[in-house]
């Protein structure tokens, strides 16, 4: 179970000035801030991260733990604040973080977690836009450009022709393919959670 104790300052993956420059429009353009929010949400959902990429402090509670390691749910750039095992706060020498895997230590050895309740408090995500990887912002900008150009037309249409009788072809209807441009999908591939 995850409890957010300090939410991210923002989940916007780019800023108004950058978006306006990218789209060659005025920062005062109506709805631009809203489009940035939509593009940011689309990128986060595509990556299987509905919570977004912004840095938040969370408390993860695991019950009935009998595992070689605890997998942190928020896996982007995690930093442990505290680990409480069955009501006892562990010293930093009692656990080890390897990526998003939290191991229990006994001296120099990793041992099995065995506890009724383990609470891990940690910060994860990025300080937007301070340390956000640039490919994530670029994916947001590509998605934003797609949203901007799609205004006023059916977003499912891939192509139209009026030669003779006319024809229309539509995009692949699979879930998750409707709003993310190919360029953005390629940029976000390394950031997708497994199974997303």
Residue with tokens 């070689």, as numbered in its chain: 68
Q: Is 84 exposed, middle or buried (0-12, 13-18, 19+ CB in 10 A)?
A: middle
pLDDT recorded at residue 26: 83
Residues in contact with 89: Cβ distance below 8 Å, sequence separation at least 6, in sequence order: 82, 83
| pLDDT, one tens digit for every residue, the chain (196 residues) | 999 999 999 999 999 999 999 998 887 777 899 999 999 999 999 999 999 999 999 999 999 999 999 999 999 999 999 999 999 999 999 999 999 999 999 999 999 999 999 999 999 999 988 899 999 999 999 999 988 876 655 555 656 676 667 676 665 655 545 578 999 999 999 999 987 7
pLDDT of residue 148: 82
Residue 158 confidence (pLDDT): 59
Longest pairwise C-alpha distance within the chain: 78
Q: How far, CA to CA in Å, does 14 sit from each of 64, 99, 180?
A: 41, 26, 16
Interatomic CA distance for residues 31 and 78, integer angstroms: 34
Separation between Cα atoms, residue 143 and residue 110, nearest integer Å: 43
pLDDT of residue 153: 56
């Amino acid at each position: 179970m995850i409890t957010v104790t300090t939410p991210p300052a923002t989940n916007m993956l780019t800023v108004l000035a950058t978006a306006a420059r990218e789209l060659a429009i005025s920062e005062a353009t109506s709805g631009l801030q809203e489009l940035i929010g939509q593009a940011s949400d689309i990128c986060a959902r595509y990556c299987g991260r509905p919570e977004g990429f912004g840095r938040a402090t969370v408390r993860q509670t695991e019950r009935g733990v009998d595992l070689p390691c605890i997998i942190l749910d928020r896996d982007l750039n995690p930093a442990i604040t505290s680990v409480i095992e069955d009501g006892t706060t562990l010293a930093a020498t009692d656990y080890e973080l390897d990526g998003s895997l939290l191991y229990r230590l006994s001296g120099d050895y990793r041992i099995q977690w065995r506890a009724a309740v383990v609470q891990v408090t940690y910060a994860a995500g990025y300080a937007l836009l301070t340390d956000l990887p640039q490919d994530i912002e670029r994916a947001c900008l590509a998605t934003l450009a797609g949203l901007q150009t799609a205004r006023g037309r059916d977003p499912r249409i891939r192509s139209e022709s009026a030669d003779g009788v006319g024809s229309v072809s539509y995009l692949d209807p699979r879930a998750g393919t409707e709003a993310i441009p190919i360029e953005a999908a390629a940029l976000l591939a390394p950031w997708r959670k497994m199974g997303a």
